[in-house]
Amino acid sequence: MALIVQKYGGTSVRDLARIRNVAQRVAKARREGNDVVVVVSAMAGETDRLIRLAQQASEVPDLREYDSLISTGEQVSAALLAITLQSMGFPARSFLGPQIRILTDSAFSVARIQKVETARLRRELKAGRIPIVTGFQGVDAEGNITTLGRGGSDTTGVAVAAALKADVCEIYTDVDGVYTTDPNICPDARKISRISYDEMMEMASLGAKVLQIRSVEFAKKYNVPIHVRSSFNDKSGTWVVKEDEKMEKVLVSGVTLSKNEARVTISRVPDRPGVASKIFTPISDAHIVVDMIIQNTSSDGYTDMTFTIPKGDLKRALKLVKKTAEEIKAQSVMADENIVKVSIIGAGMVSHAGVASKMFGALAKENINIMMISTSEIKISCVVEAKYGELATRVLHQAFGLEKGDLQKDG
Ligand code: ADP
Ligand code: ASP
Ligand code: MG
């Protein structure tokens, strides 16, 4: 008998028919003799709808209230699944994050889980019931409801699995596993059967939204095996596990596209010590994560500064940056939401020359202009105009031969 945590994403609980399908899967795992804890997302589209409502109510909503609002979608799907399971004769009970006590810090809208209390969950399991936990939410030390950032139910799933020392965390979604790139963009994408935590973290951080990055961080830290699979069939999916020798270090193992990018440019920034700190400190204090930063070479004592941030943080960031720009007497602040980031990822890249030039060449061949570049040992990212994002993804996937069976590890 195993202890399994099953997390179901929004498309898997989109309507009552899908919720019934989930209930049947849960029931099956139970009938096979396992203890099952379920974590659910909101019904597909619901969190988006709630976010739009908040934005209609105020351009910059108070984040405490924002979290109270957008966490409600999960309450609906959790209770509906519990009711469905009960109607099938299975004792199930739904629980909100604060009822379990999923403790987080107080960074509203991007809170981090600090602790998952297990007493209530264990009691439920012992009594033979199936606990259904709302994903995406927790509670801070003051009792405020917090949310974990978009896609955060994955992290709830893995954090619950880690706390309970579960045998596996199954992430059920609308694709058969983790692919070399988003299979909805590139039909040639190939399923990867095993991937290391580190490579998965890189893919997640660069836009492969199939797993939230923090869920992979948790899994790595507590050594929780993740099985990403479809809720619509019984195929084996992708195992995200500790690196092992069987995992060949291929040159490029995946391509990601992140549409969640916005670019801010501050022009004619006086070029003197301390200016960068003045610009970026208020942004980081507001828990906004800055990704790429480019500073032009200085001419006549002035420079231009460009950086990227998540699209959803643009309004808040602009408010802060405009204030700083006035203080430091920069000329103007511009924002551009019409960008995306395409990246190639591969642990083998570090020891090979020519990967970057191959990437730039492939994009140039399609006349795709590169606006910003950043590199690390394991990835290269380019910012391009939004309309070229999907084309760039397909072009790079092909340029690095990812559609071919013999180049991949064991997909
Ligand atoms: P859920 O609602 O189940 O959490 P998400 O929409 O958050 O599902 O994540 C699944 C989606 O992730 C897929 O439908 C796919 O479009 C996207 N995706 C992006 N990159 C990848 C990838 N490399 N492999 C698989 N899916 C990917
Ligand atoms: N419902 C939340 C979202 O849409 C959390 C999740 O789906 O993982 O971001
Ligand atoms: Mg998701």
Long-range residue pairs from 230-236, CB within 8 A, at least 24 positions apart, any chain? 230/172, 230/173, 230/174, 230/175, 230/176, 230/177, 231/8, 231/9, 231/11, 231/12, 231/18, 231/21, 231/22, 231/25, 231/172, 231/173, 231/174, 232/21, 232/174, 233/176, 235/176, 236/177, 236/193
Lowest mean pLDDT segment, chosen from 67-81, 240-254, 312-326: 240-254
Closest ligand 2 atom to 149 CA: 9
What's the rounded Cα separation, in Å, for the pair 258 and 151? 14
User: Which residues surround ligand 2 with Cβ inside 6 Å?
Assistant: 9-10, 41-42, 47, 73, 135-136, 150-154
Closest ligand 2 atom to 151 CA: 8
Report the pLDDT value the prediction gives residue 406, as an integer from 0 to 100.
44
Task: Find the mean pLDDT for residues 81-102.
Answer: 98
User: Which residues surround ligand 1 with Cβ inside 6 Å?
Assistant: 9-12, 41, 151, 173-175, 178-179, 181-184, 208-210
> Residue 263's closest CA among 322, 313, 308, 310?
308
Report the pLDDT value the prediction gives residue 28, as an integer from 0 to 100.
97
Report the pLDDT value the prediction gives residue 329, as an integer from 0 to 100.
94
Reported confidence tier of residue 353, pLDDT bands at 50, 70, 90: confident
Residue nearest to atom 9 of ligand 2 (CA): 150
Chain centroid to Cα 236, Å, comes to 22
Task: Find the mean pLDDT for residues 278-286.
Answer: 96
Residue 190 token pair:
């190939």
Q: What is the pLDDT of residues 112-152, one digit of tens each?
A: 999 999 999 999 999 999 999 999 999 999 999 999 999 99
User: Would you say residue 220 has pLDDT above 70?
Assistant: yes
Percent of the chain predicted with pLDDT > 70: 97
Report the pLDDT value the prediction gives residue 411, as an integer from 0 to 100.
39
Reported confidence tier of residue 249, pLDDT bands at 50, 70, 90: low
Q: What is the pLDDT of residues 381-401, one digit of tens each?
A: 999 999 999 999 999 999 999
What's the rounded Cα separation, in Å, for the pair 101 and 339? 39
What's the rounded Cα separation, in Å, for the pair 135 and 200? 21
Query: What's the DSSP call for residue 10?
Result: G
User: Would you say residue 248 has pLDDT above 80?
Assistant: no
Percent of the chain predicted with pLDDT > 90: 89
Look over the chain and give the mean of its residue pLDDT values, rounded to a whole number: 94
Q: Phi, psi at residue 276, to the nearest 5°? A: -60, -40
> Residue 132's closest CA among 140, 120, 144?
120
Strand ordering across the sheet containing 339-345: 254-258, 339-345, 379-385, 370-375
User: Would you say residue 407 has pLDDT above 60?
Assistant: no
User: Burial, 323: exposed, middle or buried (Cβ in 10 Å; 0-12, 13-18, 19+)?
Assistant: exposed
Report the pLDDT value the prediction gives residue 60, as an integer from 0 to 100.
85
Task: Find the mean pLDDT for residues 47-55.
Answer: 97
Q: Domains in the chain, ordered, with CATH?
A: 3-174 (3.40.1160.10), 246-411 (3.30.2130.10)
pTM, two decimals, is 0.93
User: Would you say residue 331 has pLDDT above 50?
Assistant: yes
Q: Which of 153, 155, 171 to mutate to test the pocket of ligand 2 (most atoms within 8 A of CB)?
A: 153
Reported confidence tier of residue 299, pLDDT bands at 50, 70, 90: confident
Question: Who has greater pLDDT, 136 or 409?
Answer: 136
